Chain A
Amino acid sequence: MYHYKRTMMIAILVCAGIFLLSLVMGRFFIPVQEVWNILLSRFLVIPITWDASMYNVVMEIRLPRVLGAILVGVALAVSGTAYQGVFRNDLVSPDLLGVSHGASVGACLGILLHLSLYGVAVCAFIGGIVAVCLTLLLPRLIQNQSRIVLVLCGIIVSGFMSAIIGLLKYIADPDTELQDIVYWQLGSLAKVTWDNLYYVLPIIVVGTIAIVALRWRLNILSLSDQEAQSLGVNVQRERIVIIGISTLLTAAAVCLSGTIGWVGLVIPHLSRMLVGHDHKKLIPATIVVSASFLMVADLFARALTTAEIPLGILCGFIGTPFFAWVLYKQRRYF
């Protein structure tokens, strides 16, 4: 317990540091003192020592973007941890279960139909739910519930959803819609504004609070069905609730940033290495680690080169070797 508290303290401090750094750094450097004052000026009356452009960069460009990074990271990683718990399978994630791609199909349809952002979000959620249902249904048809079959079925559904996305791109208007879809699908936080945030913020905050509240329950659901039932848990009902919340979280993240892979797989593993497997500690750790990770990744995405690298691509480059390392570390449990 002592170890956990100390780890969390350090993680939260690091996270706060990265938050400030993300507002300071960028193409246009703003001193920490000014950033701090600008943030405070929202709550306190303090003398203005900054110029209008600084204020705009911090409040209108960087802050929504950094908040977007936190929300997307938390949504993907918390849903990833929850999926891994309820499926008793630490190889699954929103990407591997097909949820991300399903939500993308929904969102693409929304873009093609010129729906409002809210409409796009609803479509993304429906797409995610359809995808996760298909992924759960396939192993039943095959009559093999092993964890590797679940992962393979997720890959099948992801592939199918990718094919639909390809079809939607093909029929999209190349001058307007296609650009929107392609850019959005690469995974980026560049277009995050306060308006977008207002739509998804409540969903992600409420969903995350729900998973945090249910976090000890995830321990029980990660046992075999019969064990959990013998302990007095209505396994089917609780599992459906958690899958629903996780899918909602993933869909909200996809709406905000497009598909950003690997976060939902890598961060739960990284957090487990820090605080162990008990979901009571794991979920809070996941939140802090994922927020830090995505803020850093987004900082690299916009500051590494003069042209911005889409975040989805960057996360792929960081996530894949990292996951290979995770598999190596845990090799004796496979």
Chain B
Amino acid sequence: MKPKTLFGKIWDSHVVKSIPGGPDVLYIDMHYIHEVTSPQAFEGLRRRGIKVFRPGKTLATADHNIPTLNQHLPIKDEISRKQVDTLGKNTGDYGINFFGMEHEFNGIVHVIGPELGFTRPGMTIVCGDSHTSTHGAFGSVAFGIGTSEVEMVLASQCLLQYRPSAMRINVTGKLNNSVTAKDLIMYIISRLSSGGATGYFVEYAGEAIESLSMEGRMTVCNMSIEMGARGGLIAPDKTTLDYVNEKAGKINIPVSDRNIEYWSTLRTDPGAVYDKEISFNASEITTMITFGTNPGMAMPVGGTIPDPPADEKEAASYMKSLSYMNFRPGMKLEGQKIDYVFLGSCTNGRIEDFRAFASVIKGRKKADSVTALIVPGSKMVEKQIYTEKLDSVFREAGFEIRQPGCSSCLAMNEDKVPPGKYAVSTSNRNFEGRQGPGARTILASPLTAAAAAVTGRITDPSGLISN
């Protein structure tokens, strides 16, 4: 048999039918939905007068627009409230499991899927959200879709998809101290650019990837879309199995011997050919920050902003970005004053991220000039923060922990950064206005965000961590 890539194995085993010269009909094992990209899909089902084909394979949560304070009260914004209520009604009408705002399992869709044991190796997973690539950390084929496609999955549990090309990114060697999974993926994106992996499904491999925890792997796969990739995935190993076994009991989705046997086959065969292969050396990666308005515009925390590209059109777009940020080529950002810090999102809203942030702020105080938004990725993460008594570390350092949600990552709720203000954010996008109209976002790891929070400036965290 021809050797196959991990991606190819999972994709091929889910093809119901290939249309000659056309797309594959791809079977979807797990479908996550949320309040923002699903209402028009349910409206479509009603118009057609059809049911949800496999309601048990869809799971719903409210995360994008919900407030992160006073969740026991009705949502103040009337249209947001209506959107969440609509999801409640739609899931009720069609028999879909819904973990609404006050449910003990509520949280960001890409945080709860894995932590509740729904996300498993070898699955095909989709959601009307581009960060669905997160679930690839388990060795699954997971990717974001639009609302028309959400409707297709609800109607038939299938999607019409062209098979993407396969790319492997190897990261050899060990990561330096203070360099996290977030720095690793920001470095890769800065090398490939924000469109550099368009058309590809990326497999991450190599020692630096294998040594990451599941949380770290989720951070890496999460940002695959920020270089244009359809998705990213990592072959399952002992780290994966330990995590999956631990989470299997949460709502009792058991792991069978047959599962384990199948999962052990989920690796790229020797000799399998990728359409593109790239290697990086982990020792060259430093702590990273962004300086522009797309995640490809990133540099070492201690670096200087590069000169504009030679091409005239590219240079114009580049300078437009810098002008929005009020930065200039040649500028050093370390020491730059900042106004906001956001810890949270589907990229860095998991327990490990809170532990990392706490390790820096412990015994220190939040800078007075900084407004901090500290937002757990889910109710379960929130609970764990209190179980580990991290809440007292945060409180003593002057930080308030909010309730779970997507929050300031896309600022659909009140958690907005005001115009012109600088925010060091652990989220995934530094687009213009992403954290509020006129807001200036600098992406970073939880360690670098914590360092900024206690110093009020862009700071390399290495000096603040006791090893």
**Do the two chains bind?**
no
